[in-house]
Structure 1
Amino acid sequence: MAKFLHVADVHLGFDRYNSKVRTTDFFHTLWDVFERYAIGTAVDFVVIAGDLFEHRMIQPAILNQAQLCLQQLEKAEIPVIAIEGNHDNCPYGTKTSWLRYLSDWGLLKLLEPDPGDVMYTHWDDDTKRGGYIDLACGVRIMGSNWYGAAAPKAIEQISQAIAALPSGPDSQILLFHHGLEGQIARYSGALRYRDLLPLKEVGVDYLGLGHIHKHYTVDNWVFNPGSLEANNVEESSFERGALLVEIMNGKVKAQLKTDYQQRPIVRLSLKLRGQEALQDIEELALKTINQSIEQKQIAPEQQPIVELRIEGQVGFERLELDTRQLQNRLQTHCGALIFLLKYEVDNIAYGTPIADDADRHQIEREIFNDLLSANNVYKKRAQPLAEGLIDLKERQLLGETEKTLYTIVEQILK
């Protein structure tokens, strides 16, 4: 029996949200996963099914992170087999990648099918080149490239190439960086399950995928671990992690491992009904945040990522709320590393029916009344205030002085 760890979509160098601390999260997560589930369980090998890096061009510090994690496995004598994903394949106009660099230095084995007639050549430790490798633990691992929209055609070619390989170990693994349809919404270009079946027919026992950041398995044959860390707050709801797998004579037992170092993410919603005063919003937001953090038992030192979505209707001019100031105060209060405030509200709209034969004065009175009724501060006095505004308008048209008009405004607002 062979035991291995399957990870994908690590995305070292992640730099969204403009946070250096968040970037290092991805390094600490990978280190912890390797320590717990590769070294800690004494696996025979580790596979990385694409997107080790976030970008094709990386900073020296990010390369150093990858080297440190891989050296950790090298010291434990655990080989790493990898393929390129769409994020870390060769930059345009070049013939190499940073995964190729790591492979040339012996920190992993990058499996690359040959684009020529002989698609799969056996891994050569001297040249550090090859499309497949036979391991002493009784497993054959075959690699693939990033094919994008050409994936269905590539599967046909890969299947033919696998069928032409010499006989080898009893268990066969293919690493393939692509997504399967129906797993997440709004994802175009996904493969259909029937597109994959030629691979099963030629003896692939474990199809190890990457690309989609959500864990899924199909027929105990297709396996996608998902990303190790959430790349955005939407992904925090996905089940994802690392797959710890046992395989023997083509029989597979895979367990998803999620108990490792990750940044907590809290997504909250505050629904307004139009009855709240402007000064009440912060208090309501704080209450919503405190309840969630307490429920999830998040300690202050964990510095979560928090998203608060304020939605619904407000009884004041929506732009009166200083969202930047509110966001800063809420972030300071809860100690969030990143605080995302989504302010998506509408003003309460009133539309009193107006008769077809209404004159201008009636129309003006109803419009003033509707506008005032939609504001929490003025709605209880909407009718007398509307009369006052009409009077103010008439006086202004008659040429009253500004001093007189200001005096009238003060009287109206008493």
Structure 2
Amino acid sequence: MVRFLHVADVHLGFNKYRQDNPNRMLDFFTAFDSALQTYAVEAGVDFVLIAGDLFEERLITPGVLNQAEYVLDKVRSAGIPVLAIEGNHDNCPYGAKSNWLRYLCEKDYLYLLEPDENGQLQPWDAEAARGGYIDLPCGVRVIGSRWYGASAPRAIQQLADQIQALPPPSGATLLLFHHGLEGQVSRYQGALRYTDLLPLRQAGVDYLALGHIHRYYTVEDWIFNPGAVEANSIQENQQQNPHGVLLVTLDRGFPQAELKRDYWQRPIRRYTLTLTPGDTVSHVESQLQQLVQQHRAEMAEAIVDVTLKGEVGFERGDLAVRSLQAQLQEAAQAFIFRLGFAATPVAYQTYADATAEPPPRAQIEEQVFTDLLASVAEYRDRAEALAKVLRHMKEDLLQPNANIPALYEWLANLSPED
């Protein structure tokens, strides 16, 4: 019986939320370290697979490289080999002959498995630190690949032909491949069809270790994708898009993969506040403060996302989103607090019956003023009275000899009773 850990999409150096909190970048290192410590070193697996995108970018800082070396050195010290391939984020740029995965390979932190310059799968050469496949002492053959992009279907057939031509393995065959399968996430262009992958199955691949899509999925009993080690966005929260690492057992060639998520990950909490036309700005602020008080314990040190939806009686600019966001983050003691405004102002239509005789112009204008005022929660209760004031102001302003200073004085002295 063989056990191994399958991880993908680590994205060390990810810095999308650095403006919200610069320490967010460290979360990807902490999650990677926690996952491999728990499910590789402490679990005593036979080997670890990294199915692409160890790094977020091709060009990394010394600090990000040090993060990779720190984690991989612990795994190496435990006597556990790590086998990796490039993903679309960390693949070798066109025309370049090396990248940071090649550096880690030459420093004996991992085996970078990839076809040679002619696209051929060669056995691992320890002296050259190169090869397209390796036969491990535990009896498992692991085969690598590249990031193929749009040419993936053609590359799959070529890989399948080469796999069939290799010497027979002593045990199960595993293939590392960084690409997504259609139907797993919406609005994803270029995903592979299941039929595109079938030649690999027919060539003898027992376990296809995928990466690229950041959510967990499996297909039948041979295609496996663990998802990202740490969420790359708020939308990748565990409730809606489960992801983690796969602890896999091979018993007589049949894989049993268990998704593991209980290592350290930054919690993400999402809430929706549905507003009504009667809500004023102060009322919305009060509701948000109540939401924070109610969920403060689970918001602490989490990435918090609150979305305002529904119809409101004020414009978005009336709500000071940035300053309110900062106040709520401090109150919640959240790691990051994001406030999204997706509500729409109330819309009114005065005359729906186009066949009816229209009322006098003055009445139409007053009704339009009334509807506009009623769409603002602060003025709703006084809409009709204020509409008369607006119509009176309009008539005075249109007079040839309009006395604007006098009009301003009249408006300033207007009392609610008037």
Q: Shorter chain as normaliser: what TM range?
A: over 0.9
Matches within 5 A, 1:131-150: 131-150=132-151
Report the counterpart of residue 273 of structure 2 in structure 1: 270
Partner of 1:320: 318
Superposition map of 1:304-383 within 5 A: 304-353=302-351, 356-383=357-384
Match of 1:78 among 77, 80, 97: 80
Answer yes or no: is 1:6 the counterpart of 2:6. Answer: yes
Do the aligned partners of 1:79 and 1:108 also contact (CA within 8 Å) in 2?
A: yes
2:248–2:256 CA contact under 8 A, matched in 1: yes
**2:393/2:407 contact within 8 Å kept:** no
Return closer, same or farther for 1:401/1:63 CA change in 2, 3 Å cut-off: closer
Q: Where do residues 37-116 of structure 1 align in structure 2 (5 Å cutoff)? A: 37-116=39-118
Q: Distance in 2 between matches of 1:66 and 1:404?
A: 72
Query: Offset of 1:353 from its aligned partner?
Result: 1.6
Distance 2:175 2:252 in 1: 15
Where 1:17 maps in the other structure, the secondary structure is coil
Q: Distance in 2 between the 1:381 and 1:22 partners? A: 48
AA at the equivalent of 1:45: F
CA distance in 1, matches of 2:126, 2:314: 70
Q: 1:21 aligns with which of 23, 38, 61?
A: 23
Distance in 2 of aligned mates of 1:57 and 1:91: 10
Question: 1:410, CA displacement in angstroms?
Answer: 3.2
Name the SS of the counterpart of 2:343 in structure 1: strand
Partner Cα separation in structure 2 for residue 156 and residue 293 of structure 1: 53
Within-5 A mapping of 1:103-252 = 103-116=105-118, 119-236=120-237, 237-252=240-255
Q: What root-mean-square deviation, in Å, do the aligned CA atoms of Structure 1 and Structure 2 show?
A: 1.6
Q: 1:401: how far off?
A: 4.7
Deviation sequence 1:171-206 (CA, Å, 0-9, x none): 110000011111111111111111111111111100
- The separation in 2 between residues aligned to 1:113 and 1:224, in whole angstroms, is 22
Contact 2:302–2:336 (Cα < 8 Å) also in 1? yes
**Contact 2:27/2:265, CA 8 A, preserved across alignment:** yes
Contact between 1:170 and 1:248, CA under 8 Å: does it hold in 2?
no
Once the two structures are TM-superposed, the CA of residue 318 in structure 1 deviates from its matched residue by 3.1
Secondary structure of the residue aligned to 2:199 is helix
Q: Distance in 2 between matches of 1:412 and 1:373?
A: 20
Aligned residue for 2:123, secondary structure, equals coil
Query: Could you say which residue in structure 2 is the equivalent of 1:279?
Result: 282
- Would you say the 8 A contact 2:53–2:89 is kept in 1? yes
Q: Secondary structure at the match of 2:248?
A: strand
Q: Please report how far the alpha carbon of residue 320 of structure 1 lies from its aligned counterpart in structure 2 after TM superposition.
A: 1.3
Return the offset for 1:93: 3.5
Q: CA separation in 2, counterparts of 1:37 and 1:198?
A: 31
Q: Tell me which of 286, 289, 292 is aligned to 2:292.
A: 289
Mean CA deviation greater in 403-412 or 176-185: 403-412
Any conservation in 2 of the 1:173–1:207 contact (CA below 8 Å)? yes
Bigger shift: residues 45-54 or 87-96: 87-96
Q: Deviation digits for residues 117-140 of structure 1, max 9, x if unmatched?
A: 6x1111011110000000110100
- For 2:58 and 2:296, locate their aligned partners in 1 and report how far apart those are by CA, in whole Å: 37
Distance 1:406 1:349, change over 3 A: farther
The whole-number CA distance in structure 2 between the counterparts of 1:413 and 1:350 is: 25
Which shifted more, 306-315 or 62-71? 306-315
Q: Secondary structure at the match of 2:269?
A: strand
Structure 2 vs 1, CA of residues 331 and 150 (structure 1 numbering), >3 Å: closer, same or farther? same
Letter of the 1:160 partner, please give it: D
Task: Measure, in 2, the Cα distance between the counterparts of 1:401 and 1:123.
Answer: 89
Aligned partner letter, 1:138: G
8 Å Cα contact 1:171/1:248 also seen in 2: no
Q: Is the 8 A contact 1:268 1:289 kept in 2?
A: no
- Identify which range, 225-234 or 320-329, moves more after superposition: 320-329
**Could you list the per-position Cα deviations for residues 361-382 of structure 1 after superposition, in whole angstroms to 9, with x for gaps in the alignment?**
1221111111111122222222
Read off the aligned partner of 2:154 and give its amino acid letter.
K
Q: Partner letter of residue 309 of structure 1?
A: T
What SS does the corresponding residue of 2:59 show, helix, strand or coil? Answer: coil
C-alpha separation in 2, matches of 1:29 and 1:404: 66
8 Å contact 1:227–1:240 — kept in the other structure?
yes
User: Which segment is superposed worse, 76-85 or 87-96?
Assistant: 87-96
Question: How many Å apart are 1:304 and its aligned residue?
Answer: 0.8
Letter in 2 for 1:25: D
Partners in 2 of 1:202 and 1:342 — Cα distance? Answer: 49
